[in-house]
Amino acid sequence: MIKTIVVRRGAADFVFVLVPGDRVIAWPKLRAHLGVNRLSMPDADEAFSVTGYRRGTITPLGAKTPWPVLADKRVQGQVSIGGGDHGVSLTVSSADLIEALTAQVADVTDPV
């Protein structure tokens, strides 16, 4: 399972980060990759406002705004990603997902 985390880079500037379910964002790695000193996560209301999805259902697929997507390098093989509602997911090839989302791939996570 792939988690989609929405991260704020700046005012009205967000990025979707695709994280394998057994990993967490490595904030120093993510900041270095994005070339910023500070990142934060929006609260639930702001996340809904900028994505069109409630927390727990956020996906870059069909999001209100097509924010850039960054996939951790461990997003490989067949993956399941949320489909925008509770209990809805899609199983796809990671290569197809990354291509469809024009996602960058980088080492941005650590083990849980």
The answer for residues whose C-beta is within 8 angstroms of residue 40's C-beta and 6 or more apart is 7, 8
Within-domain flag for 100:
yes
- Per DSSP, which regions of the chain are E strands? 2-10, 13-20, 23-25, 69-72, 78-82, 89-93, 104-106, 109-111
| Each residue's pLDDT expressed in tens, for the chain with a length of 112 residues | 999 999 999 999 999 999 999 999 999 999 999 999 999 999 999 999 999 999 999 999 999 999 999 999 999 999 999 999 999 999 999 999 999 999 999 999 999 9
Answer whether 9's CB lies under 8 Å from 36's CB: yes
Answer whether 30's CB lies under 8 Å from 75's CB: no
Within-domain flag for 112:
no
pTM assigned to the model:
0.97
Write out the residue range of the structural domain in which residue 82 sits: 2-107
Q: How many domains are contained in the chain?
A: 1
